[in-house]
Structure 1
Amino acid sequence: MTAAAGRAVPATMRAAVQRGPRQLAVEEVPVPVPGPGQLLVRVLAVGTCGSDVHFYEHGELGGFRADGPLILGHEPSGVIVATGPGSTRRSLNERVSIEPGTCCGRCEQCRAGRYNLCPAMHFYAVPGQADGAFAEYVLAHEDFVHPVPDGVSDEAAALLEPLSVAVWACRKARVAPGDRVLVTGAGPIGLVALQSARAFGAQEVVVSDVNPHRLALARELGATEVVNVAERPLAEAGFAPDVLLECSGSGAATTEAVHQVARAGRVVLVGMGGDEVTLPLARLQNYELEVTGTFRYARTWPTALALVTSGTVDLDRLVTHRYGLADAERALTAGAREPDAVKAVVLPQK
């Protein structure tokens, strides 16, 4: 292992370790040692995600169950402090955003460029795959770290991960100039989906939610209209989108929104809620609607970084709460406690 000069890599580090539902505490654990092609990154910022919250509250998500200790967090940025054998693509002391998964590179999906569907994927904070980044240091493969310029904050560099989710959704939806887009759910994913759709050329983007604060932020970030569905049904908005980006994860919201999609429209299911959702089959057939899911992303970081560096997408505006590593549990519960919370970020070095 080659380490950066001027800063010795310690033998142990602090990490927020979950040992059961709602059982999370900071512990002293060994600093991982980078293997061939790997890098050791000192974590500077980690965004909290809805999947982290779900694992924290229930200990399981999407068929994955945390039967042992687990470190959450899969939206990290940091600085490279050590390299493993054979690592040549990145430099020590380089500030990076981390794509939090490593694929096999050999299977049919990887060879086709769909490495997000690799059956051998090792993704951060997924039980049985890899620990996450609620820690002072984390391992990353050199093929999946992306240098960031000085003008991009540590927090924005971390949030390139959720932005990548939105970029991938817009690609799947084939959002194009002139499109009319409906985004259901004004959480962090919905807000970056809104900005991404505008960047892809959407003429109109309507955002629906039940949280007035988040809807106000959506308007600030470029929504042409917002709909508080707690006050009036989506149908009363009179908006027939070409594209639906469903980011709420709510079955009821999904069903209601699909009923609004125009003929030959495209529906992309982004949010994760229940395991099943009811879709109006007659509407799908009579209108020839396309419906697809999304699973993470592939080859999105260069586009996401370009959107941020150009100022087209504002990620810093999403950060409403910041916590040190000792308060990771508060970061995970901020959304439930604070009505104005949008994105909570953990700063492991604090």
Structure 2
Amino acid sequence: MKALVYQDLKQVAFQDIEEPSIQKADQVKVKIYGSGICGTDLNIVKGKVPANKGTVIGHEGVGTVVEVGSEVRGLQVGDRVLIDPTQSCGICSYCREGLFIYCENFDDHQVGMTTHGTFAEYYVGDEKYIYPIPDSMSWETAMMIEPLGCVLQTFMKAGVKPSDSVLVLGSGAIGSLCQLVSKRLARLTVGTEVDSYRKEFAEGIADHVFYPQELTLDKVYEINNNKKFDIVVDAVGNQLHVGFELIAKGGRIIPMGYDDSYEVTFKSTHVINDGISIIGAVANHSMISTALKFAQSIPELEQMVTSSELLSDYEQAFNGTIGYNLRTGETLPMNSVKTALIL
């Protein structure tokens, strides 16, 4: 079968590999329709996140069941499904407490990084990680369920209230999704974005969207009743210092973007005296079912997938999403917020 396979640092290849087959009675084989490009996939390609050589990358896959093991009871051939990539050993102390994302053996179960992912024609996995999609749900919406689960996880941990004001720093795929959820849960939703294409897209979601340099403290007071923000989300990965500048007393800061090279310092007395909380629970803890239900009340979710490309055209898709040529480093205009790679 055709698949996008990690080769080495900053190297992936579209190539033929052996088609997977069911190995256990509780496994399901899925013919992949498509898979969303996640920031993690881009970080793998950029060399910022490691993956095992020879591993199929991608983890936001949806498709149709083509075969089931003898002990599979909840799925049947022909079902439209999505794959939950948050998988674990199930027996360590964290798993036994339901904290699967903190699994002591998590590195052995990372779909698209250490085990074969969904940028491929077929995927085989355990039934418990494969969820049926409602008949009324489009493929594009279904591809957004896993990232939606991550956003819901953090917003629930942060205790977002209808009276809250929310600032989302960055309006890429996760940032725009945060803004979309915030519009459902909070009083005021504000975004920032450096790219004009993505800024224009976010303007159709948030109450206000600014270029970063435009969001001065005076502007914040003007749009938010002379107060800083109750919640600040860093959806870029290197903007927490801005979060500390614009967070109100009693506020919650959510780091969501991933940049391992970024560090920020703060005074513990500032955090204590102002009652600021830092919410680090970004990863998806068994939130797929919740996200599936919540998604049915958000018809705009389908429009979050702004472009689709054939899996064979992955380079073009990555370049347009990331804003530069991965091979040459040449700057390119961004032309998508969320791109789906279709088989």
Determine if the TM-score, normalized by the shorter chain, exceeds 0.5.
yes
Aligned-partner Cα distance in 2 for 1:331–1:272: 20
1:147 aligns with 2:132: yes
Aligned-partner Cα distance in 2 for 1:204–1:330: 36
What percent of counterpart residues are identical?
Answer: 27
> What does 1:187-336 align with in structure 2 at a 5 Å threshold?
187-199=172-184, 201-221=185-205, 223-233=206-216, 236-238=219-221, 239=224, 240-250=228-238, 253-281=239-267, 282-310=269-297, 312=298, 314-335=300-321, 336=323
Aligned-partner Cα distance in 1 for 2:299–2:287: 14
Aligned-partner Cα distance in 2 for 1:215–1:169: 23
Name the aligned partner's letter for residue 247 of structure 2: V
Aligned-partner Cα distance in 2 for 1:316–1:35: 34
Q: CA deviation at 1:286?
A: 2.3
Aligned-partner Cα distance in 1 for 2:281–2:234: 10
CA RMSD of aligned residues (A): 1.9
Q: CA deviation at 1:101?
A: 3.0
The number of residues matched between the two structures is 325
1:185–1:247: 8 Å Cα contact kept in structure 2?
yes
Q: CA deviation at 1:234?
A: 5.9
Q: 2:336 maps to which residue?
A: 341
Aligned-partner Cα distance in 1 for 2:315–2:125: 24
> What does 1:126-145 align with in structure 2 at a 5 Å threshold?
126=113, 129-145=114-130
2:243–2:253: 8 Å Cα contact kept in structure 1?
no
Q: 1:53 maps to which residue?
A: 42
Select the structure that is richer in strand: 1
1:258–1:279: 8 Å Cα contact kept in structure 2?
no
Q: CA deviation at 1:67?
A: 5.3
For residues 234 and 97 of structure 1, do their structure 2 counterparts lie closer, same or farther at Cα, with a shift above 3 Å needed? farther
Which of these residues, 28, 34, 37, is aligned with residue 16 of structure 2?
A: 28
Which of these residues, 91, 96, 104, is aligned with residue 119 of structure 1?
A: 104
Aligned-partner Cα distance in 2 for 1:176–1:234: 23
Name the aligned partner's letter for residue 193 of structure 2: D
Deviation per residue, 1:256-304 (Å, 9 max, x gap) = 1222111111111111013442133243232120113134211212222
Q: 1:38 maps to which residue?
A: 27
Q: CA deviation at 1:330?
A: 2.0
Find the residue that maps to 1:16 and give its secondary structure: strand
Name the aligned partner's letter for residue 243 of structure 1: I
2:6–2:52: 8 Å Cα contact kept in structure 1?
no
Find the residue that maps to 1:82 and give its secondary structure: strand
Find the residue that maps to 2:71 and give its secondary structure: coil
Aligned-partner Cα distance in 2 for 1:86–1:307: 30
Q: CA deviation at 1:334?
A: 1.6
1:169–1:245: 8 Å Cα contact kept in structure 2?
no
Q: 1:10 maps to which residue?
A: none
Name the aligned partner's letter for residue 324 of structure 1: L
Aligned-partner Cα distance in 2 for 1:50–1:93: 30
2:192–2:212: 8 Å Cα contact kept in structure 1?
yes
Deviation per residue, 1:310-340 (Å, 9 max, x gap) = 2x25222122221112112222222213323
Q: 2:326 maps to which residue?
A: none
Find the residue that maps to 1:268 and give its secondary structure: strand
For residues 44 and 258 of structure 1, do their structure 2 counterparts lie closer, same or farther at Cα, with a shift above 3 Å needed? same
Name the aligned partner's letter for residue 214 of structure 1: R
Aligned-partner Cα distance in 1 for 2:11–2:284: 30
For residues 212 and 233 of structure 1, do their structure 2 counterparts lie closer, same or farther at Cα, with a shift above 3 Å needed? farther
1:19 aligns with 2:3: no
Q: Which runs of 5+ in 2 are unaligned?
A: 324-331
